[in-house]
A and B are shown apart, each in its own frame.
Chain A
Protein backbone atom coordinates (compact mmCIF):
# COMPACT_ATOMS: atom_id res chain seq x y z
CA UNK A 1 0.00 0.00 0.00
CA UNK A 2 1.10 3.56 -0.49
CA UNK A 3 3.44 5.13 2.06
CA UNK A 4 4.40 1.90 3.77
CA UNK A 5 8.11 2.44 3.14
CA UNK A 6 8.14 5.92 4.59
CA UNK A 7 6.39 4.73 7.73
CA UNK A 8 9.13 2.14 8.11
CA UNK A 9 11.69 4.96 8.02
CA UNK A 10 9.88 6.80 10.76
CA UNK A 11 9.49 3.68 12.85
CA UNK A 12 13.24 3.17 12.61
CA UNK A 13 13.69 6.65 14.01
CA UNK A 14 11.05 6.13 16.69
CA UNK A 15 12.69 2.93 17.87
CA UNK A 16 16.08 4.59 18.29
CA UNK A 17 16.85 6.37 21.54
CA UNK A 18 16.14 10.06 21.62
CA UNK A 19 19.73 10.90 22.33
CA UNK A 20 21.14 9.03 19.33
CA UNK A 21 20.97 9.47 15.59
CA UNK A 22 20.68 6.26 13.56
CA UNK A 23 22.47 6.09 10.20
CA UNK A 24 20.98 8.26 7.49
CA UNK A 25 18.84 5.89 5.47
CA UNK A 26 19.65 7.12 2.00
CA UNK A 27 18.23 4.04 0.30
CA UNK A 28 14.96 4.34 2.17
CA UNK A 29 14.66 7.99 1.24
CA UNK A 30 15.35 7.34 -2.41
CA UNK A 31 12.75 4.61 -2.41
CA UNK A 32 10.15 7.04 -1.08
CA UNK A 33 11.13 9.80 -3.53
CA UNK A 34 10.76 7.35 -6.35
CA UNK A 35 7.31 6.32 -5.12
CA UNK A 36 6.35 10.00 -5.11
CA UNK A 37 7.51 10.37 -8.72
CA UNK A 38 5.55 7.32 -9.79
CA UNK A 39 2.38 8.54 -8.11
CA UNK A 40 2.78 11.96 -9.71
CA UNK A 41 3.24 10.40 -13.14
CA UNK A 42 0.13 8.28 -12.59
CA UNK A 43 -1.92 11.37 -11.75
CA UNK A 44 -0.76 13.15 -14.88
CA UNK A 45 -1.57 10.06 -16.88
CA UNK A 46 -5.06 9.80 -15.41
CA UNK A 47 -5.73 13.47 -16.08
CA UNK A 48 -4.72 12.99 -19.66
CA UNK A 49 -6.32 9.66 -20.56
CA UNK A 50 -9.53 9.94 -18.57
CA UNK A 51 -10.29 13.60 -18.83
CA UNK A 52 -13.89 12.98 -19.78
CA UNK A 53 -14.56 10.89 -16.73
CA UNK A 54 -12.03 11.75 -14.07
CA UNK A 55 -11.60 9.14 -11.37
CA UNK A 56 -11.61 11.73 -8.60
CA UNK A 57 -11.03 9.33 -5.74
CA UNK A 58 -8.05 7.77 -7.42
CA UNK A 59 -6.48 11.15 -8.07
CA UNK A 60 -7.23 12.42 -4.58
CA UNK A 61 -5.78 9.28 -3.05
CA UNK A 62 -2.55 9.59 -4.98
CA UNK A 63 -2.21 13.25 -4.10
CA UNK A 64 -2.78 12.43 -0.45
CA UNK A 65 -0.15 9.69 -0.67
CA UNK A 66 2.37 12.09 -2.18
CA UNK A 67 1.65 14.68 0.51
CA UNK A 68 1.92 12.04 3.21
CA UNK A 69 5.25 10.82 1.87
CA UNK A 70 6.44 14.40 1.80
CA UNK A 71 5.28 15.04 5.34
CA UNK A 72 6.94 11.88 6.63
CA UNK A 73 10.23 12.53 4.84
CA UNK A 74 10.42 16.07 6.14
CA UNK A 75 9.51 14.88 9.63
CA UNK A 76 12.32 12.33 9.37
CA UNK A 77 14.94 14.94 8.60
CA UNK A 78 13.44 17.49 11.01
CA UNK A 79 13.54 15.02 13.90
CA UNK A 80 17.16 14.19 13.17
CA UNK A 81 18.03 17.87 13.18
CA UNK A 82 16.38 18.34 16.59
CA UNK A 83 18.55 15.57 17.99
CA UNK A 84 21.67 17.05 16.38
CA UNK A 85 20.86 20.39 17.90
CA UNK A 86 20.56 18.79 21.33
CA UNK A 87 24.00 17.26 20.80
CA UNK A 88 25.56 20.65 20.23
CA UNK A 89 24.33 21.76 23.64
CA UNK A 90 25.11 18.53 25.48
CA UNK A 91 28.32 17.37 23.84
CA UNK A 92 29.75 20.43 22.13
CA UNK A 93 30.83 21.46 18.65
CA UNK A 94 32.88 18.34 18.06
CA UNK A 95 30.83 15.23 17.56
CA UNK A 96 32.20 11.75 18.17
CA UNK A 97 33.23 10.05 14.95
CA UNK A 98 30.63 7.34 15.11
CA UNK A 99 27.89 9.95 15.32
CA UNK A 100 29.36 11.88 12.39
CA UNK A 101 29.40 8.81 10.22
CA UNK A 102 25.65 8.42 10.66
CA UNK A 103 24.98 11.87 9.26
CA UNK A 104 24.35 12.90 5.68
CA UNK A 105 26.52 15.54 4.06
CA UNK A 106 23.73 18.04 4.33
CA UNK A 107 23.29 17.32 8.03
CA UNK A 108 26.98 17.89 8.66
CA UNK A 109 26.67 21.19 6.82
CA UNK A 110 23.60 22.12 8.84
CA UNK A 111 25.44 21.32 12.06
CA UNK A 112 28.46 23.41 11.13
CA UNK A 113 26.25 26.34 10.19
CA UNK A 114 24.31 26.01 13.41
CA UNK A 115 27.52 26.08 15.46
CA UNK A 116 28.64 29.18 13.57
CA UNK A 117 25.33 30.96 14.09
CA UNK A 118 25.31 30.07 17.77
CA UNK A 119 28.87 31.20 18.42
CA UNK A 120 28.35 34.37 16.46
CA UNK A 121 25.32 35.18 18.64
CA UNK A 122 27.03 34.34 21.92
CA UNK A 123 29.92 36.63 21.06
CA UNK A 124 27.62 39.64 20.94
CA UNK A 125 26.38 39.27 24.50
CA UNK A 126 27.73 41.71 27.03
CA UNK A 127 30.55 44.22 26.89
CA UNK A 128 33.43 41.91 26.05
CA UNK A 129 33.88 38.81 24.01
CA UNK A 130 30.49 37.39 24.80
CA UNK A 131 28.93 34.86 27.11
CA UNK A 132 29.04 31.11 26.68
CA UNK A 133 25.43 30.02 27.05
CA UNK A 134 26.29 26.32 27.00
CA UNK A 135 27.89 26.75 30.41
CA UNK A 136 26.38 27.55 33.78
CA UNK A 137 23.63 25.06 33.32
CA UNK A 138 23.01 24.66 37.04
CA UNK A 139 22.69 27.32 39.75
CA UNK A 140 26.05 27.71 41.48
CA UNK A 141 26.11 26.70 45.12
CA UNK A 142 29.71 27.44 45.81
CA UNK A 143 32.73 28.92 44.13
CA UNK A 144 34.85 25.87 44.44
CA UNK A 145 34.01 22.28 44.11
CA UNK A 146 35.74 19.04 44.94
CA UNK A 147 36.16 16.79 41.97
CA UNK A 148 37.62 13.43 41.23
CA UNK A 149 39.35 12.74 37.98
CA UNK A 150 37.95 9.76 36.12
CA UNK A 151 40.88 9.44 33.76
CA UNK A 152 44.51 10.47 33.43
CA UNK A 153 43.72 13.77 31.80
CA UNK A 154 47.11 15.41 31.75
CA UNK A 155 47.83 19.05 32.55
CA UNK A 156 45.23 21.56 33.56
CA UNK A 157 46.12 25.20 34.04
CA UNK A 158 44.12 26.81 36.82
CA UNK A 159 42.90 30.39 36.85
CA UNK A 160 45.54 31.13 39.49
CA UNK A 161 48.28 30.11 37.06
CA UNK A 162 49.02 26.91 38.94
CA UNK A 163 49.26 23.79 36.80
CA UNK A 164 47.67 20.54 37.95
CA UNK A 165 48.27 17.08 36.61
CA UNK A 166 44.97 15.23 36.55
CA UNK A 167 45.44 11.62 37.50
CA UNK A 168 42.75 8.99 37.53
CA UNK A 169 40.98 8.70 40.89
CA UNK A 170 42.77 11.65 42.47
CA UNK A 171 40.70 14.41 44.01
CA UNK A 172 41.16 18.11 43.46
CA UNK A 173 39.59 21.41 44.43
CA UNK A 174 38.71 23.45 41.36
CA UNK A 175 36.73 26.57 40.68
CA UNK A 176 33.20 25.71 39.65
CA UNK A 177 33.42 27.48 36.31
CA UNK A 178 36.56 25.61 35.37
CA UNK A 179 35.24 22.29 36.59
CA UNK A 180 31.84 22.47 34.92
CA UNK A 181 32.79 21.77 31.30
CA UNK A 182 35.10 18.94 32.38
CA UNK A 183 32.39 17.39 34.52
CA UNK A 184 29.89 17.60 31.69
CA UNK A 185 32.34 15.95 29.35
CA UNK A 186 32.86 13.14 31.81
CA UNK A 187 36.54 13.84 32.49
CA UNK A 188 35.87 14.73 36.12
CA UNK A 189 33.09 13.90 38.50
CA UNK A 190 31.84 16.10 41.31
CA UNK A 191 32.38 14.59 44.75
CA UNK A 192 28.99 14.49 46.45
CA UNK A 193 28.77 16.36 49.73
Chain B
Protein backbone atom coordinates (compact mmCIF):
# COMPACT_ATOMS: atom_id res chain seq x y z
CA UNK B 1 0.00 0.00 0.00
CA UNK B 2 2.83 2.37 0.81
CA UNK B 3 4.66 1.80 -2.47
CA UNK B 4 2.18 3.74 -4.58
CA UNK B 5 2.35 6.61 -2.18
CA UNK B 6 6.14 6.54 -2.25
CA UNK B 7 6.43 6.77 -6.00
CA UNK B 8 3.71 9.13 -6.96
CA UNK B 9 3.13 11.42 -4.07
CA UNK B 10 5.38 14.05 -5.56
CA UNK B 11 3.22 14.14 -8.66
CA UNK B 12 0.21 15.01 -6.62
CA UNK B 13 1.31 17.43 -3.93
CA UNK B 14 1.51 21.01 -5.05
CA UNK B 15 4.87 22.71 -4.70
CA UNK B 16 3.46 25.16 -2.14
CA UNK B 17 2.26 22.49 0.24
CA UNK B 18 5.81 21.39 0.85
CA UNK B 19 6.55 24.11 3.31
CA UNK B 20 4.18 23.31 6.14
CA UNK B 21 5.27 23.36 9.75
CA UNK B 22 5.86 19.63 10.09
CA UNK B 23 8.73 18.33 8.05
CA UNK B 24 6.57 15.31 7.56
CA UNK B 25 5.96 13.64 4.29
CA UNK B 26 2.55 12.25 3.59
CA UNK B 27 3.84 8.72 4.02
CA UNK B 28 5.30 9.46 7.45
CA UNK B 29 1.98 10.83 8.64
CA UNK B 30 0.19 7.85 7.16
CA UNK B 31 2.56 5.49 8.92
CA UNK B 32 1.92 7.18 12.25
CA UNK B 33 -1.84 7.00 11.75
CA UNK B 34 -1.67 3.34 10.67
CA UNK B 35 0.35 2.42 13.72
CA UNK B 36 -2.02 4.36 15.96
CA UNK B 37 -4.90 2.50 14.30
CA UNK B 38 -3.41 -0.91 15.02
CA UNK B 39 -2.55 0.02 18.59
CA UNK B 40 -6.04 1.31 19.18
CA UNK B 41 -7.64 -1.81 17.71
CA UNK B 42 -5.72 -4.17 19.95
CA UNK B 43 -5.45 -2.25 23.16
CA UNK B 44 -8.19 -2.73 25.76
CA UNK B 45 -8.04 0.90 26.93
CA UNK B 46 -8.20 4.16 25.04
CA UNK B 47 -4.84 5.56 23.99
CA UNK B 48 -3.61 9.14 23.57
CA UNK B 49 -5.22 10.68 20.52
CA UNK B 50 -3.45 11.40 17.26
CA UNK B 51 -5.97 13.94 16.01
CA UNK B 52 -3.28 16.28 14.74
CA UNK B 53 -1.95 13.62 12.42
CA UNK B 54 -5.42 12.52 11.41
CA UNK B 55 -6.41 16.07 10.57
CA UNK B 56 -3.20 16.55 8.67
CA UNK B 57 -3.83 13.39 6.69
CA UNK B 58 -7.39 14.44 5.91
CA UNK B 59 -6.10 17.81 4.69
CA UNK B 60 -3.65 16.06 2.43
CA UNK B 61 -6.34 13.75 1.13
CA UNK B 62 -8.48 16.75 0.34
CA UNK B 63 -5.59 18.33 -1.50
CA UNK B 64 -4.87 15.15 -3.42
CA UNK B 65 -8.50 14.70 -4.35
CA UNK B 66 -8.49 18.21 -5.70
CA UNK B 67 -5.41 17.46 -7.79
CA UNK B 68 -6.85 14.21 -9.06
CA UNK B 69 -9.95 16.02 -10.23
CA UNK B 70 -7.74 18.13 -12.48
CA UNK B 71 -6.20 15.13 -14.18
CA UNK B 72 -7.76 13.55 -17.25
CA UNK B 73 -10.48 11.08 -16.39
CA UNK B 74 -9.06 8.46 -18.68
CA UNK B 75 -5.66 8.47 -17.00
CA UNK B 76 -5.39 4.99 -15.45
CA UNK B 77 -3.37 6.38 -12.55
CA UNK B 78 -6.41 8.36 -11.42
CA UNK B 79 -8.38 5.30 -10.36
CA UNK B 80 -5.37 3.80 -8.63
CA UNK B 81 -4.78 6.94 -6.60
CA UNK B 82 -8.47 7.28 -5.83
CA UNK B 83 -8.47 3.74 -4.46
CA UNK B 84 -5.44 4.57 -2.38
CA UNK B 85 -7.26 7.53 -0.91
CA UNK B 86 -10.30 5.35 -0.18
CA UNK B 87 -8.08 2.91 1.66
CA UNK B 88 -6.55 5.66 3.75
CA UNK B 89 -10.00 6.98 4.57
CA UNK B 90 -10.93 3.50 5.71
CA UNK B 91 -8.01 3.42 8.12
CA UNK B 92 -9.02 6.79 9.52
CA UNK B 93 -12.69 5.95 9.96
CA UNK B 94 -11.83 2.59 11.52
CA UNK B 95 -9.42 4.31 13.92
CA UNK B 96 -11.92 6.94 15.00
CA UNK B 97 -14.73 4.40 15.25
CA UNK B 98 -12.68 2.16 17.53
CA UNK B 99 -11.95 5.11 19.79
CA UNK B 100 -15.57 6.15 19.87
CA UNK B 101 -16.70 2.66 20.91
CA UNK B 102 -14.20 2.68 23.77
CA UNK B 103 -15.29 6.14 24.87
CA UNK B 104 -18.90 4.96 24.89
CA UNK B 105 -18.15 1.72 26.74
CA UNK B 106 -15.91 3.19 29.41
CA UNK B 107 -17.35 6.68 29.49
CA UNK B 108 -17.36 7.38 33.21
CA UNK B 109 -13.85 6.06 33.75
CA UNK B 110 -12.47 7.81 30.68
CA UNK B 111 -13.87 11.17 31.79
CA UNK B 112 -12.48 10.73 35.30
CA UNK B 113 -9.01 9.89 34.09
CA UNK B 114 -9.06 12.65 31.51
CA UNK B 115 -9.89 15.18 34.22
CA UNK B 116 -6.59 14.38 35.92
CA UNK B 117 -4.55 15.12 32.82
CA UNK B 118 -3.31 18.42 31.47
CA UNK B 119 -4.26 19.58 28.02
CA UNK B 120 -0.98 18.49 26.45
CA UNK B 121 -1.24 15.03 27.93
CA UNK B 122 -4.90 14.60 27.05
CA UNK B 123 -5.94 11.25 25.66
CA UNK B 124 -9.15 12.59 24.12
CA UNK B 125 -9.31 15.23 21.44
CA UNK B 126 -11.47 18.26 22.31
CA UNK B 127 -14.24 16.95 20.03
CA UNK B 128 -14.06 13.50 21.64
CA UNK B 129 -14.17 15.05 25.09
CA UNK B 130 -17.30 16.96 24.17
CA UNK B 131 -18.82 13.76 22.78
CA UNK B 132 -17.96 11.85 25.96
CA UNK B 133 -19.51 14.49 28.20
CA UNK B 134 -22.69 14.66 26.17
CA UNK B 135 -22.91 10.88 26.03
CA UNK B 136 -22.50 10.60 29.81
CA UNK B 137 -25.10 13.28 30.43
CA UNK B 138 -27.56 11.60 28.07
CA UNK B 139 -27.10 8.28 29.90
CA UNK B 140 -27.47 9.91 33.33
CA UNK B 141 -30.67 11.66 32.30
CA UNK B 142 -32.10 8.44 30.99
CA UNK B 143 -31.26 6.52 34.18
CA UNK B 144 -32.78 9.34 36.19
CA UNK B 145 -36.18 8.80 34.63
CA UNK B 146 -36.33 5.53 36.52
CA UNK B 147 -34.15 6.36 39.52
CA UNK B 148 -36.37 9.18 40.61
CA UNK B 149 -39.23 6.75 41.19
CA UNK B 150 -37.16 4.76 43.65
CA UNK B 151 -37.27 5.25 47.42
CA UNK B 152 -35.31 8.28 48.53
CA UNK B 153 -32.24 6.51 49.89
CA UNK B 154 -31.69 4.63 46.65
CA UNK B 155 -32.51 7.15 43.96
CA UNK B 156 -28.95 7.94 42.94
CA UNK B 157 -26.49 5.72 41.11
CA UNK B 158 -23.02 5.83 42.65
CA UNK B 159 -20.03 6.28 40.55
CA UNK B 160 -18.77 2.88 41.71
CA UNK B 161 -21.67 1.14 40.10
CA UNK B 162 -21.61 3.16 36.90
CA UNK B 163 -18.02 2.36 36.18
CA UNK B 164 -17.25 -0.06 33.41
CA UNK B 165 -13.57 -0.68 32.98
CA UNK B 166 -11.41 -2.41 30.45
CA UNK B 167 -9.50 -5.47 31.58
CA UNK B 168 -5.95 -4.23 31.37
CA UNK B 169 -4.56 -7.70 31.87
CA UNK B 170 -5.92 -8.91 28.54
CA UNK B 171 -3.30 -10.55 26.44
CA UNK B 172 -2.04 -8.73 23.38
CA UNK B 173 0.38 -9.53 20.58
CA UNK B 174 3.17 -7.05 20.26
CA UNK B 175 6.33 -6.29 18.40
CA UNK B 176 9.26 -4.36 19.86
CA UNK B 177 10.62 -1.35 18.08
CA UNK B 178 13.48 -0.94 20.48
CA UNK B 179 15.38 -2.96 22.98
CA UNK B 180 13.67 -2.78 26.38
CA UNK B 181 15.64 -3.70 29.44
CA UNK B 182 12.96 -4.54 31.89
CA UNK B 183 9.34 -5.51 31.58
CA UNK B 184 7.52 -6.88 34.57
CA UNK B 185 4.92 -9.56 34.08
CA UNK B 186 2.62 -10.32 36.95
CA UNK B 187 1.71 -13.96 37.16
CA UNK B 188 -1.67 -13.57 38.72
CA UNK B 189 -2.32 -17.27 39.29
CA UNK B 190 0.56 -17.63 41.69
CA UNK B 191 1.02 -14.01 42.67
CA UNK B 192 4.58 -13.91 41.43
CA UNK B 193 6.34 -11.41 39.25
CA UNK B 194 8.72 -12.04 36.43
CA UNK B 195 11.07 -9.58 34.86
CA UNK B 196 12.06 -10.05 31.25
CA UNK B 197 14.02 -8.32 28.55
CA UNK B 198 12.51 -7.53 25.18
CA UNK B 199 14.83 -7.50 22.20
CA UNK B 200 14.43 -5.09 19.33
CA UNK B 201 12.26 -6.66 16.64
CA UNK B 202 11.03 -9.53 18.79
CA UNK B 203 7.36 -10.46 18.99
CA UNK B 204 5.47 -11.52 22.08
CA UNK B 205 2.12 -12.35 23.60
CA UNK B 206 1.65 -10.94 27.07
CA UNK B 207 -0.70 -9.02 29.36
CA UNK B 208 -1.34 -5.51 28.12
CA UNK B 209 -0.69 -4.01 31.56
CA UNK B 210 2.97 -5.04 31.38
CA UNK B 211 3.67 -2.98 28.31
CA UNK B 212 0.98 -0.28 28.38
CA UNK B 213 3.42 2.55 28.95
CA UNK B 214 5.62 1.33 26.10
CA UNK B 215 2.69 1.28 23.70
CA UNK B 216 1.92 4.86 24.57
CA UNK B 217 5.52 5.89 24.08
CA UNK B 218 5.84 4.09 20.79
CA UNK B 219 8.57 1.63 21.79
CA UNK B 220 6.18 -1.27 21.33
CA UNK B 221 3.67 -1.85 18.53
CA UNK B 222 0.53 -3.93 19.03
CA UNK B 223 -0.19 -6.34 16.21
A contacting B, Cβ–Cβ less than 8 Å: yes
Interface residues of A, Cβ cutoff 8 Å to B:
29, 33, 36-37, 40, 66-67, 70-71, 73-74, 77-78, 81, 85, 106-107, 109-110, 113-114, 117-118, 120-121, 124-128, 131-133, 135-136, 138-140, 142-143, 176-177
- Please state if A131 and B86 are interface contacts (CB–CB under 8 Å): no
Q: Which of B89, B130, B143 contacts A74 (CB 8 A)?
A: B143
- Please state if A136 and B93 are interface contacts (CB–CB under 8 Å): yes
Question: Total A-B residue pairs with C-beta atoms closer than 8 Å?
Answer: 102
Interface residues of B, Cβ cutoff 8 Å to A:
54-55, 58-59, 62, 79, 82-83, 86-87, 89-90, 92-94, 96-97, 100, 104, 127-128, 130-131, 134-135, 138-139, 141-143, 145-147, 149-154, 157, 161
Contacts of B96 in A (CB 8 A): 125, 131, 133
- Please state if A140 and B62 are interface contacts (CB–CB under 8 Å): no
Tell me the nearest residue of chain A to B63, going by C-beta: A127
- Please state if B146 and A133 are interface contacts (CB–CB under 8 Å): no
- Please state if B142 and A36 are interface contacts (CB–CB under 8 Å): no
Docked Cα-Cα span, A131 to B51, in Å, equals 13
User: A131 with B90: in contact, given A66-B154, A121-B128, A125-B96 (CB under 8 Å)?
Assistant: no
Docked Cα-Cα span, A73 to B157, in Å, equals 12
Docked Cα-Cα span, A106 to B137, in Å, equals 14
User: A127 with B83: in contact, given A36-B151, A74-B143, A114-B135 (CB under 8 Å)?
Assistant: no
Contacts of B138 in A (CB 8 A): 110, 113-114, 117
Cβ distance A127 to chain B, nearest Cβ, rounded Å? 5
Main SS at interface, chain A: helix
Q: Which of A77, A113, A114, A117 contacts B143 (CB 8 A)?
A: A77
Docked Cα-Cα span, A81 to B94, in Å, equals 23
Cβ distance A63 to chain B, nearest Cβ, rounded Å? 9
Docked Cα-Cα span, A138 to B86, in Å, equals 11
